Chains A and B, each alone.
Chain A
Amino acid sequence: MDNTTQIVITAITLLGSAGIWKYAEARLRVKAEIKKEENSASDTVLYRDDLKNRVEEMDKALKEANKELLLLTEKVAKLETENSFLRREIDILKRN
């Protein structure tokens, strides 16, 4: 095989294949962009995003409610203790 022919064929084919690939890649990119836009505008995706937001909000609310519940439990425990002491004092006072 002649070396010059080899180099010329290789160079031409390489350029050709690069050109074909660039074209195909650009087409794939455009198609992917169109699909992405279609997906972002579709009802199911909007519904899913809405559900995601709601789940996040509910998660936050649940955490806050848990904190408040803990505080309330603490307060109830304190009040119960106070109440038992007060009852004892009332009993002592009644006896006297």
Chain B
Amino acid sequence: MERSKNRKAEALNKLKKAIGQLREIWQYSDSQPTEITLAAALVLLYPIATFLELGYSPILQLLAPIAGLYQLYCVSGNCLKCRVRASFITFSLYAIAGVMYLYYGLLFKGPSYWGWALLTISSFGSLKRIKKEELHRNNG
């Protein structure tokens, strides 16, 4: 009986540690790969998906690839201020897509549409990480 209790406590501790570790990685790890993925999705996936599912929307389908390319340019240039700006634009565009899907009743139509919410959260996380890095560098 006591053995199983110990095992449970051990497993719980391990789980807590793992969650803590994941949280640390989420908050402080390098965000360039995420930025590149988000930017690539903005250039390739975003215009096609919104065109096929929401219809023609010049605001989304023209701005998104430009914003994606701008984000890629900033990541390649390694300029933190530029990356913060580009990440904010990326986050805004994903948020706009999420709200559009929500407005047209598509967001909860199927689990695959939840990806837009995931992309919005991911872009916001990436934006926060870069800002943290900027503040950390400024503070020395």
Contact = CB atoms under 8 A, between A and B. Distances in A.
Answer whether A and B are interacting partners: yes
Interface of A: 1, 5-7, 9-10, 12-14, 16-18, 20-21, 24-25, 28-29, 32, 35-36
Nearest to A15: B92
Interface in B112-136: 124, 127-128, 131-132, 135-136
A16 B54 contact: no
B96 A28 contact: no
Contact of A28 (B54, B99, B135): B135
Contacts, number: 51
A1 B54 contact: yes
A70 to B, nearest CB: 38
Please give me the 7 A-B residue pairs with the lowest Cβ-Cβ distance, nearest first: A32-B135, A1-B55, A17-B92, A13-B96, A13-B99, A17-B95, A36-B139
Given A1-B57, A10-B59, A18 B131 contact: no
Contact of A13 (B92, B104, B124, B127): B92
Contacts of A16: 95
